[in-house]
Amino acid sequence: MDALRISNLVKKYGTVVAVDDLSLAVPTGSMFGFLGPNGSGKSTTIGCLTGLLDPTAGRIEILGQPFDANSAGLKRRMGVMPETLGLFEPLYAHEFLAFVGRMFGLDEARTRTRVSELLQALELTDSSKTLSEYSTGMRKRVAFAAAVIHSPEVLFLDEPFESIDPAGVALLKQWLRRFTEQGRTVFITSHVLETVERLCDAVAIITRPGKLVWQGDISVLAHDGAIQFDGQEFRALEPLFLHLTGERYADLNWL
Amino acid sequence: MNFELIGELIRLRYKLLWARTRTRNGRIALFIAGYLILVLVLLLLGAGGLGAGMVAVQSGKAQKVADIVLGSLFLEMMLATVIMGFGLNAMFSDTELRRYPVGAMERWVTRHLVALVDPFWFLGFVLEIGLVVGLYVVGAGSLGIGLVAVLLLFVANYLAARVFGVFVDRMMQHKIGSLVLMAAIFGVALGAGQIPHILKHNPAAGAEAARFLRYTPPLGAAAAITQSGFEAAAGLAIVVCWLVALAAALVALERRPAHRQKLPSTRISFDSIYERVGGWFGAEDAPLVALWLRFYARNTRFRMHVLLALPILGFLVYAFGKPRNDVHSLFIAALGAFPVATFLATARFSVNQFGYVGGAFRRYFLLPIDARAALRTGSYASMLAGGPLIVVAAIAWAVLAPGPFDGRMLFMLVASGIAGLLTLNGLGLWTSILGPRRGNYNQNLGNDLSLAGNIVLIGGGIVCLSAPHVLARIMPALVSPKYWWLAIMPAALALLFYVFSLRATGTLFRQRREQLMAVVEGRG
């Protein structure tokens, strides 16, 4: 069964098309990379998939059920780390995580345990600072913790690795691998193609305006294999991405 | 000093302001603001300044009139800046300016020049110019010296307001700052009330005070405008001295490192006061109400306003209740002041609920709840924070009001407070959805509300304060303790309006969430 199925998704802002007839299927238990250049509609797509935005047209199914912004039951089974992190700045990390835990239906004892464990694991034990006083990397860790505290079945991560130190990234990768090994699904956007290449089983690449240009299995790249496309052989994700989204050259003499 | 770059930065500030007019709401706000400013400028220049100049000469007391006009204007601009926050928010921060190749002094000059060219300050300046022109036209003053004097006074007025604002802001960052401020306001209010009494018994004190006031910027400028020779030069020198002193004070205050209040860290608690109070609203809404209450309680400005609400209520009753020895006139004033006091502390958040949450706004739509809960719980929290003031104010009335205790009056005051609380928070729901504006949660001073928010806040205050007086004239029975039970009606109507607003804005909230998200995240 597919954890996520998008059919003919369209999102328009007035006359501006942000996502154009996007169809996609993400198998259960996979680590799925969703890639595209800046402004190609990745965050808009995630917004539609998580209930932040209303699609103009199209159908979204998550865990086999139709999804829209009011699907509270499905939202309980999803974890989301949004682009803007969505943190309530005047709160302490433990207060914020406890709030999220409660909203997702965790009981008091379980919330208490999970908050403590997450704070320990993510090295967020400085309880003298509110979220507004945290560094960008620490804020990102808190947002990640909030996305996973209720053990979701599908996890949406929008640029999760930016601003996090290498040790933190390694920890997140380890968690995400274990997450998918348990049969759960991760939908991830990132500009760090090396990380996506090592972490993801499959990717979809979109280009402006939200048009799918390629979707496929990239696990071969991890075993020194190659992806055949357009009569060319690609041994890494980056050249394939640049080929699909258009390589750009600009000769600036003064630079 | 790189004036070219400073000029570019000031232009950038206006380009950013202009960019806001690209939206429909921005164009409406621009039209209304532009129209109002034009009308005000014409009124001020024509009727205000010029008129005052004419009166000054005709009465043969040119300097005295100039003293009064410039002095009261100076004070009013200061108070409007510090209390209402006008003219304080149009400013780049030092951190923002650090990205440009400008030195510390240039950044300081840029920040304050940007703030100084705010339309609010120009209104005062126009009135002052009007006075100078009026005096010049009737031959009682020099145009050149007068213009220099009011220009210097205008800058001194801005600097004085800024020094006062930064001082209050720094004070609020300390734990006991709010209490000190409250004590100071009490002191000033009580002291001001004693002035007529002191002057009556000791006329020499008045003369001494007037002599002392001659060394203040507005009276110095008045001397420069209306006098000639040495006296005019001395008046200008006074303003210049103040200007230098205020600029130095501002630099010194701004250089002092900001001290952020550290709130005690808490362990994970499901039994804090916030959770317990949130629990009154049912299991589904409890965590959200608790969240909003924390949001309120951790805001310095809110805490300051809570402490100030009662003194302000007392001041409003005292100021609007005339004659002051008549309990009924004080009661009429209190009927209007009670609703204002209950709304005062929470107004900034309740008319712009999501304006201060930034990126966290989208969290409400990621949670497995009906998103309307975010709106209604925010409003509940606002009423929970403002409501207890009705009880405190009622106790204060029972203890301090002159004459024998009258339970009917107390009932009417409480009903009036409840009616105001429900109506103003109901209106706040509408402005939160239809007129949101991105604000800074940590900003202690300044007016960062949208036009709609300001209309509810200022307009609501004016209506509340004046309505009982109007009713006392046209339908006295409605504000008479004899018919105390009639006070239930406005409270019941307000409750209906609030419930209707909760339902209607809940639906609207879901429909407009994308626009709201863009505004509160700074993209719209």
pLDDT per residue over A143-183, tens digit each? 999 999 999 999 999 988 888 888 888 888 888 999 999 99
Mean pLDDT of B84-97: 68
DSSP code of B251?
H
- 3-state SS class at B235: helix
CA B141 remoteness from chain centre: 35
**Lowest pLDDT segment from A38-52, B44-58, B250-264:** B44-58
Q: Which residues of A touch B362 (CB under 8 A)?
A: 52, 82, 84, 86
pLDDT at B57 (0 to 100): 66
- Phi–psi pair at B166, nearest 5 degrees: -65, -40
pLDDT at B364 (0 to 100): 93
Mean pLDDT of B325-342: 86
Cβ–Cβ of B270/A84 closer than 8 Å?
no
- Does an H or E element contain B250, and which? helix B229-255
Cβ–Cβ of B367/A104 closer than 8 Å?
yes
**Lowest pLDDT segment from A162-166, B96-100, B170-174:** B170-174
Cβ–Cβ of A88/B359 closer than 8 Å?
no
Distance from the first to the final alpha carbon of chain B: 35
Rounded (10°) angle between helices A136-148 and A93-103: 20
- 3-state SS class at A156: strand
How far is the C-alpha of B414 from the C-alpha of B420, rounded, in Å? 10
Q: Which residues of B touch A54 (CB under 8 A)?
A: 514
Mean pLDDT of B287-311: 88
Q: Which residues of B touch A52 (CB under 8 A)?
A: 362, 365-366, 513, 517
Cβ–Cβ of B266/A92 closer than 8 Å?
yes
Strand partners, A207: A211
Q: Which residues of B touch A51 (CB under 8 A)?
A: 365-366
Nearest CA in chain B to A49: B366
Place of tokens 């002095």: B71
* Higher pLDDT, residue B363 or B180: B363
How far is the C-alpha of B235 from the C-alpha of B237, rounded, in Å? 5
| Sheet (strand A65-66) strand order | A16-27, A2-13, A57-62, A65-66
Among A73, A87, A115, the residue with its CB nearest the CB of B359 is A87
Q: Is the pLDDT of residue B350 over 60?
A: yes
Among A99, A127, A130, the residue with its CB nearest the CB of B287 is A99
What's the token pair of residue B56? 């000054």
Domains belonging to chain A, first-starting first, are 2-77+152-245 (3.40.50.300)
For chain B, positions 431-470, list CB contacts with chain A under 8 A.
441-442
Among A86, A87, A112, the residue with its CB nearest the CB of B268 is A112
From the list A88, A15, A85, A18, the residue with the least C-alpha distance to A48 is A18
pLDDT per residue over B404-413, tens digit each? 888 899 999 9
pLDDT at B86 (0 to 100): 64
pLDDT at A150 (0 to 100): 94
Q: Which residues of B touch A112 (CB under 8 A)?
A: 268
From the list B163, B357, B148, the residue with the least C-alpha distance to B239 is B148
Among A51, A91, A115, the residue with its CB nearest the CB of B366 is A51
Please report, rounded to a whole number, the percentage of residues in chain B having pLDDT higher than 90: 25
pLDDT at A14 (0 to 100): 87
How far is the C-alpha of B184 from the C-alpha of B308, rounded, in Å? 11
Chain B nearest C-alpha distance from A221 (Å): 34
Residue A138 CB neighbours (<10 A): 21
Mean pLDDT of B508-521: 90
What's the token pair of residue A121? 């694991």
For the ranges A71-75, B179-183, B203-207, the one whose mean pLDDT is highest: A71-75
pLDDT at B44 (0 to 100): 62
pLDDT per residue over A8-64, tens digit each? 999 998 889 999 999 999 999 999 999 999 888 999 999 999 999 999 999 999 999
Chain B nearest C-alpha distance from A239 (Å): 33
pLDDT at B249 (0 to 100): 93
Residue B190 CB neighbours (<10 A): 12
Residue B229 CB neighbours (<10 A): 7
pLDDT at B48 (0 to 100): 60
How far is the C-alpha of B223 from the C-alpha of B135, rounded, in Å? 12
Among A53, A91, A112, the residue with its CB nearest the CB of B294 is A91
Angle in degrees, CA A223, A225, A228, rounded to 5: 150
Q: Where are the alpha helices (DSSP H) in B358-478?
A: 363-366, 372-386, 388-400, 407-434, 451-454, 460-474
Q: Is the pLDDT of residue A227 over 60?
A: yes
Query: Could you tell me how many CB contacts below 8 A there are between chain A and chain B?
Result: 93
Rounded (10°) angle between helices B407-434 and B372-386: 150
Please report, rounded to a whole number, the percentage of residues in chain B having pLDDT higher than 70: 86
Among A80, A95, A111, the residue with its CB nearest the CB of B366 is A80
Mean pLDDT of B256-267: 62
Please report, rounded to a whole number, the percentage of residues in chain A having pLDDT higher than 90: 56
Q: Binning pLDDT at 50, 70 and 90, where does residue B358 land?
A: confident
Mean pLDDT of A58-83: 92
pLDDT at B326 (0 to 100): 77
Cβ–Cβ of B368/A105 closer than 8 Å?
yes
pLDDT at B22 (0 to 100): 67
Instruction: Among A19, A46, A103, pick the best mutation site for testing chain B contact (most B Cβ within 10 A).
Output: A103
Mean pLDDT of B182-187: 73
Q: For residue A221, what are the contacts with CB-CB under 8 A and spacing of at least 6?
A: A197, A227, A235, A236, A237
Cβ–Cβ of A86/B510 closer than 8 Å?
no
Sign of torsion over alpha carbons A86, A92, A94, A96? negative
Chain B nearest C-alpha distance from A109 (Å): 10
Q: Binning pLDDT at 50, 70 and 90, where does residue A245 land?
A: confident
Q: Classify residue B450 as left (phi > 0), alpha (psi -120 to 50) or beta.
A: beta
pLDDT per residue over B486-502, tens digit each? 889 999 999 999 999 99
Q: Is the pLDDT of residue B363 over 90?
A: yes
Chain B nearest C-alpha distance from A218 (Å): 30
B298 touches A: beta carbon within 8 Å: yes
Q: Which residues of B touch A127 (CB under 8 A)?
A: 265
Chain B nearest C-alpha distance from A147 (Å): 10
Q: Is the pLDDT of residue B266 over 60?
A: no
- Supply the DSSP string of B257-270, one letter for each residue: PP-PPPPPP----S
Rounded (10°) angle between helices B62-79 and B217-226: 150
pLDDT at A115 (0 to 100): 93
Q: Is the pLDDT of residue B265 over 60?
A: no
Cβ–Cβ of A90/B441 closer than 8 Å?
yes
pLDDT per residue over A194-205, tens digit each? 888 988 999 999
pLDDT at A125 (0 to 100): 80
From the list A82, A89, A52, A67, the residue with the least C-alpha distance to A146 is A82
Instruction: Among B284, B362, B441, pick the best mutation site for testing chain A contact (most A Cβ within 10 A).
Output: B362
pLDDT at B135 (0 to 100): 78
Q: Is the pLDDT of residue B263 over 60?
A: no
B524 touches A: beta carbon within 8 Å: no
pLDDT at B113 (0 to 100): 85
- Domain edges within chain B: 3-255, 275-520
Cβ–Cβ of B367/A102 closer than 8 Å?
no
Q: How far is CA A205 from CA A198, B270, B377, B457, in A?
A: 16, 44, 41, 50
Q: How far is CA B114 from CA A57, B10, B74, B117, in A?
A: 46, 6, 20, 6
Sign of torsion over alpha carbons B421, B422, B424, B430? positive
How far is the C-alpha of B44 from the C-alpha of B53, rounded, in Å? 12
Q: How far is CA A70 from CA B193, B325, B328, B365, in A?
A: 58, 60, 54, 9
Q: Where are the beta strands (DSSP E) in A28-138?
A: 31-35, 57-62, 65-66, 78-81
How far is the C-alpha of B182 from the C-alpha of B110, rounded, in Å? 33
Angle in degrees, CA A113, A119, A120, rounded to 5: 90
pTM: 0.79
Cβ–Cβ of A94/B366 closer than 8 Å?
no
pLDDT at B264 (0 to 100): 54
Contact B285, B373 (CB under 8 A): yes
**Lowest pLDDT segment from A73-82, A96-105, B93-102, B191-200:** B191-200
How far is the C-alpha of B2 from the C-alpha of B283, rounded, in Å? 60
Among B265, B288, B362, the residue with its CB nearest the CB of A92 is B265
Strand partners, A4: A26, A62
Chain A nearest C-alpha distance from B265 (Å): 6
CA B236 remoteness from chain centre: 31
pLDDT per residue over B434-474, tens digit each? 989 888 888 777 777 888 888 898 899 899 999 998 998 89
Average pLDDT across chain B, whole number: 83
pLDDT at B96 (0 to 100): 79
From the list A28, A29, A58, the residue with the least C-alpha distance to A41 is A58
pLDDT at A183 (0 to 100): 92
pLDDT at B181 (0 to 100): 73
Strand partners, A215: A204
